Each structure stands twice: as structure tokens, then as C-alpha cells.
A and B are shown apart, each in its own frame.
Chain A
Amino acid sequence: MSTTSLGLFEPRPLTRELAVANENILVSAHIYTATAALVLGALFGLLQGFARANWIVMPAWFDYYRVLTTHGVLMALVFTTFFITGLLTFSTYRSIPRIRHVALGWTGYIVMLVGTLVTALTILSGNATVLYTFYAPLKAHPAFYIGATVLVAGTWFVAADLLMNVAWFLKNNPGKRIPLPAFAAAATFVMWIIATIGVTLEMCLLIPWSLGWTSGIDVELTRMLFWYFGHPLVYFWIMAAYLIWYNVIPTTYKGKVFSDALTRLSFILLLVLSTPVGLHHQFLDPGISAGWKWMHTVLTYGVVIPSFMTAFAIFASFEIAARRAGKRGFIATVRWLPWGDPVFSGSALGMLLFLFGGFGGIVNTSYSMDVLVHNTMWIVGHFHVTVGGPVALSFIGAAYRLVPAITGRKLFAPKLALVQTYTYFVGMLLMSTSMHVAGLLGSPRRTSDVTYFGAAGAQSWHFEMVTAAVGGTILFISILMFAVVAVGTRFRDVRAEVRDEFAFAGTDEEAMRTPAVLDKLGRWACLALVLAVVAYAGPIHDQLSQPHYLVPGMRTW
């Protein structure tokens, strides 16, 4: 790697080879930052699991809720976001080869990193024990809100970089379709930009309030703005996992993308339908009438459809490739798939976990049914078996292909990588199932100790908390294995150098042609905005038309 340089001030003429080397360093920065957040987040998760099982008691100087806030922010906001910005940057750069400068990309990364460090240090110092949802009127130190805003603003630079590359491609290749990985990355970022409008508006209320410039905060309005952002945040994760499933996974069994057009249609449906569904996180909130909640139930059911389409496309791709290899029938197809390749097993085991995640998600969004599970451990089980399952495990699996590509080194300890994906699956299945059961028995989430002074009703939750802690321990060990492989690969010596042979999956020859309208992301973004306004104008109007009160807020930790 003699050609390393940040690409900011380029002394030599930029060749494609040098540009790729620069791109690789940028993507590495994102992926290794994500890895660091994952390992640290996992350690904090382990402590929580032990505390809930009553194996340890967190000391007052580093209490359970501070650990919980750090875990939530590191996993849900830092690990996922950095991995996704890295993955989307890689997907766009590699599918639009070009002699490019990466200054804008680096700006994005550095802004994200500064925001992350400010937020993390504020939490660790005990000045922002407000959990990752930071519900007002819990009042954190202003640095928490400002740091989080800077982190989000950093992602906009990354988005601008990628969208400008897509625009460059369209300008220089008139009449051509955007390459599928770049299209998926662009659609994901357009959805993300629309989603972050909500949290940005929320921060416009929270930052002046935390600085003492305003005397009170509208609690329900901030909750609504948070969940306007909070649910599409979930789809930001899922769209990135789908990018891997559609574009990378077929290469592990010499298969193809089932259909270019239907892949694009799935991403467009996710772009359009991800935002107007956030109220399903507020089904139990006062001040929002039942009719609006019902409307968000219907819209959330709608966003299930692109996931149905994805399930079909993935299995169709499996089956078509298996038939070409002379395998027929369900069992023969399943046995033929490359279960010994950690890139495949990571995503495939993630897909299995997503079956549970999808099932539980339908329960959560089914209107009055949410009463049974809201704010119980069931919800914790649900998001661990979704973002912690299909999303994180697909990311980790993809990293086993991505890290060799960006470091130019052969994967370190591939057997360990394989074992890692299976242990992760077992640990997550045990932990999330335990959490789901505890939730059905009524155990509340976000609570350091659920014994309630030995109350009879609380006794039945203990067993599940112990099995969850065992699952969490397996997960922690598994995440350490991943870190060993990822970091080990980076530091292998030159003898392990490989030529980068990364390639995305091609499209099946028999697939239909892609209609041009599917590439008009601007139009679909407008439709998404209209739907978001339709979904939120009513509830916000209702709230503002009531006499409503600003709350001063307080620090309760």
C-alpha cells in the first residue's frame, strides 16, 4: 500500500488506481469506527444483561441507566450509521468507477466522528442519562443534543457526496440505468434525508431549551418529531441489509439478482412508505386520537409489502442458481447453499432471525394489540432480533468480504469468522426469545432491577432474565471474534496481500427490463414527502388546537 494518501491535497496526478486506494482508506475509516462502536456497545450490553439477571449491581458512580444510554446510542446510532455510510460509500464508488477526489466524503466522516465523540463523552460523564430516545422533559447537557445533531449533519455530507456521484454518472451516461448498488445506496440516503428532517426539527426545540434560552418544551410534539425520525431510522438499517442481500449475497453461490426492476421497486416502496408510520411507537400516548393511530397501523402494514417482495426475490435467486447447478427441490437447494462461507451464513442466519422480527413487528403495529407488549421486554426482544439480528449479522457477514477488499489483505482466521456467525445466531436467538417471553409475562423494559421489593408478580420474570444474560454472553464473545478477524485482517503482513476482486452480483439474463421511471428518485422523494405530511398534519394539528402547556424539564439522574 505505497499509494496511501488522504486525497485531500493530492501532489501526484490522480490515477484510477490511486483513487481506489484513497476510497479504500475512507471506507476503512467508517467500517473500523463502526467495529469499535460495536465492541464497546457489546461490552455495555453485557453489563446490562448481568444486571438484569441480578448477577451484578452497577455502582452509583457508573449506574445502569448510563450504561443503557451508552449501549443504545453506540449500537443504534453509531455502529449502524458508520457501517451504513461506509457500505453505501463503497457500493457507490465501486459501481461508478471514476477518478474521483474523496474530500467531501472525508468531511462527512470527520463531522460524524466529532459529533459521536462529543455525544459519547457527554453520556459517559453522566450528563446525559436520557437513553437513546432522549424523551423530553428529561434534560441532558446541551453538548448531548449538539453532538447528536453534528453526527446526523455529518451523514448529510456523505449523502451529498454519493448523490453527486450518481448525478455525475447520469450526466456522463445518458440513457443508462444507475448501477443497482449505487441506486440502492442513493434510495437509502434519500429516505434518510427525509427522515432526519424530524430529528432536526426536534433538535431546533431541544437545543435552545437545554441552553436555557427557552423556558419550556412541548413534550408530545418532541415525541412525535422523534418517532417521525425513529421509525425510518429502522428502515435505514434494513435498506442497507437489503442492499447486501440483493447485491452481494448472490455472488457467494455464483447466482444473480432475480430482477433488477423489482429490486428497484422494493427500494422505492421503502423510500416512500418508511416515514408515514412513526405513530405506531406512540399508540399508548395521550393527546393523539385513536383514528390517526389506526391510519398509521394501515400504513405500517403497507411497508411490509417490500419485505415480502424481498423475501421472494432472495429465495428465487437461491432456487434459480441451484437449478443451474442441477439441484431441485427445497431440501436439495438449502443443502447446496454455501453454509461454509461466513459472508453467506451471516446474511442467511440473519434472514432466519428476521422471520421472528417480522412476526413480532406485525404484533407491535397491530393497533390495540400493542397494549400487551408496549414498553415490556418484548419490545427489547423485537429490536434485538431485527437490528441486532438480520441487520447486524448481515453487516458482519458482509464485512468478511468488504474488509479484504478495502485492506488488500486475505481474511484473517476465516474459520473463526464462520464460527462467529453461528455463535451469534445462537446467542441472539436465546437472548431475544427470552426477552420476548419476559415481555409477555409483563416484565418492563428500561429498568435496572425488576424484583420490585420481592413482589409476587415479578418473580416469574427472573428465569428469562438469566437465559437472556447467557445469550448475551454468547453474543459478546461472538462480537469479540468478529473484532479479532476484522482487526487481524488489517494488520496482516504483505504476504497476505491479495488483488481486490470484489464484484457485485449481475442480473439474471431472463429478468425483465427496468422501466426508466424507477430511477427518478426525485419524484419518489416528493411522493414520500407528501405522504409524510398527510400522515402527520392531522395529529399535529389536533395537538396544537388543544390548550397545551410547555414543561420546564429537569435532570432526574
Chain B
Amino acid sequence: MHLHRLERIWLIFGVAILAIFLATVTTAALVDGFVPPSHVQSIDPAKVSVTPPFDQPGLHKLANGSYEAYYVAHIFAFAPHRLVVPLGAHVTFYVTSTDVVHGFSIPETGVNAMVTPGWVSTVSHTFRTRGTYLLVCNEYCGIEHQTMADTIEVR
């Protein structure tokens, strides 16, 4: 089928831009590990409170000096409450839900994941600035959804 010369130029221009975008996000994924949180691990939502490590929500230091934080989301709160993290810590969050779908978001950090019952979500962040971070549920979960928030203190 014949395309007008100007339309051909326009489409080549448009597709080239998309190709550049795709190359950028793909390079960021392969080289810097910028991939969306995509952990594939299931868990029995009825037995979260007796399934290690979620039976003891909180911050755990690993032998290599980094940290893992285990979170349980339920209506309408997170456990643990008021996590304290040392400055400069690289923390990998493991989050699951015991009831409905929740969100796990620390605004202005890039920590953002969906939390669905039956699955474990993971997301990592290095805390380089001292202060109190807000942790919010950013998926509607019920009538008190707006109160489902907590803090993470970096010191």
C-alpha cells in the first residue's frame, strides 16, 4: 500500500522515538536493574502469621551488611509499626497481605508495589537521607483506607 512521502517520514520519526524509549528502559533494566517489582512467590494468606519470616515482621540485618524488612499489610494497618532504619542502609522489603489488595508506597523514594493476598511482593531502596518517611497504602482497601499509613524513621 502506498504511503504519502510526508506520512512515511512522520511514521519513521515516531517509530524511531518509540525505539529510543524502548532501548532506554531496556538498557536501564539490563544494566542498572531497573525493573518493576515482579517477585513470583506465593504464600498461603490464611497462614501468614505462622509462616517465617512473616511470623516476625520487622527489620533483619543480613551477613553482607544489607537489610531485609518483612511487612504484613492488613486492613487498615502495616506491621511492623514505625520501622527504624540506620542511615545508608540498603533495605529489601518483602510484603504480603492477609486479606484484600493493598499498596505499599513510600512517596518520593520510588518504593511502590502492589500487595495481593497469596503473593509476596519485593522492592528495594537505599536510605541516604535522614528523616521520617511516610509509608502509605495506595490501593483502595476499604472504608478506613485513608488511615492505612505508617512511618519509617531513618537515623
Residue B15 at the chain A interface, CB threshold 8 Å? yes
Interface string of A50-82 (1 = CB under 8 A from B): 000000000000010100100000000000000
> In whole Å, how far is B18's beta carbon from the nearest beta carbon of chain A?
5
Residue A213 at the chain B interface, CB threshold 8 Å? no
Report the stretch among A9-17, A101-109, A365-373, A495-503 that lies at the interface.
A365-373
- Are B29's CB and A286's CB within 8 A? no
Interface string of B113-130 (1 = CB under 8 A from A): 111111111100000000
> In whole Å, how far is B29's beta carbon from the nearest beta carbon of chain A?
6
- Are B119's CB and A368's CB within 8 A? no
Contacts of A282 in B (CB 8 A): 114
- B28 nearest CB neighbor, chain A only: A368
Report the stretch among A182-190, A228-236, A442-450 that lies at the interface.
A442-450
Report the stretch among A302-310, A395-403, A471-479, A528-536 that lies at the interface.
A302-310
- Are B18's CB and A304's CB within 8 A? yes
How far, in angstroms, from A452 to B136 measured CA to CA in the complex?
9
* Residues of chain A in range 384-410 having any CB-CB distance to chain B below 8 Å: none
- Are B114's CB and A556's CB within 8 A? no
Interface string of A118-150 (1 = CB under 8 A from B): 000000000001010001011000000000000
- Are A284's CB and B36's CB within 8 A? yes
Residue A332 at the chain B interface, CB threshold 8 Å? no
* Residues of chain A in range 355-374 having any CB-CB distance to chain B below 8 Å: 362, 366-372, 374
- A298 nearest CB neighbor, chain B only: B22
> In whole Å, how far is B42's beta carbon from the nearest beta carbon of chain A?
5
Given contact pairs A312-B10, A452-B149, A286 touches B22 in the complex (Cβ within 8 A): no
Residue A169 at the chain B interface, CB threshold 8 Å? no
Which of B41, B133, B146 gathers most chain A CB within 10 Å? B146
> In whole Å, how far is B24's beta carbon from the nearest beta carbon of chain A?
8
A286's contact among B38, B112, B134, by CB below 8 Å, is which? B38
Contacts of B52 in A (CB 8 A): none
- Are A546's CB and B42's CB within 8 A? yes
Residue B103 at the chain A interface, CB threshold 8 Å? yes
- Are B108's CB and A441's CB within 8 A? yes
- B101 nearest CB neighbor, chain A only: A135
- Are A446's CB and B140's CB within 8 A? yes
- Are B117's CB and A137's CB within 8 A? yes
Report the stretch among A40-48, A241-249, A416-424, A454-462 that lies at the interface.
A454-462
* Residues of chain B in range 1-35 having any CB-CB distance to chain A below 8 Å: 1-4, 6-7, 10-11, 14-15, 18, 21-22, 25-26, 28-29, 34-35
A449's contact among B25, B40, B132, B146, by CB below 8 Å, is which? B146
- Are A375's CB and B100's CB within 8 A? no
- Are A366's CB and B25's CB within 8 A? yes
How far, in angstroms, from A169 to B105 measured CA to CA in the complex?
55
Given contact pairs A290-B29, A556-B142, A515 touches B1 in the complex (Cβ within 8 A): yes
How far, in angstroms, from A289 to B110 measured CA to CA in the complex?
19
How far, in angstroms, from A453 to B39 measured CA to CA in the complex?
32
B35's contact among A220, A367, A546, by CB below 8 Å, is which? A367
- Are A129's CB and B143's CB within 8 A? yes
> In whole Å, how far is B112's beta carbon from the nearest beta carbon of chain A?
5
Contacts of B45 in A (CB 8 A): 549, 551
Residues of B near any A CB (own CB < 8 A)? 1-4, 6-7, 10-11, 14-15, 18, 21-22, 25-26, 28-29, 34-46, 75, 99-101, 103, 105, 107-108, 110, 112-122, 132-134, 136-143, 145-146, 149, 151
8 A-B pairs in the complex with CB atoms less than 8 angstroms apart? A298-B22, A316-B6, A371-B36, A372-B112, A375-B138, A444-B136, A546-B40, A549-B44
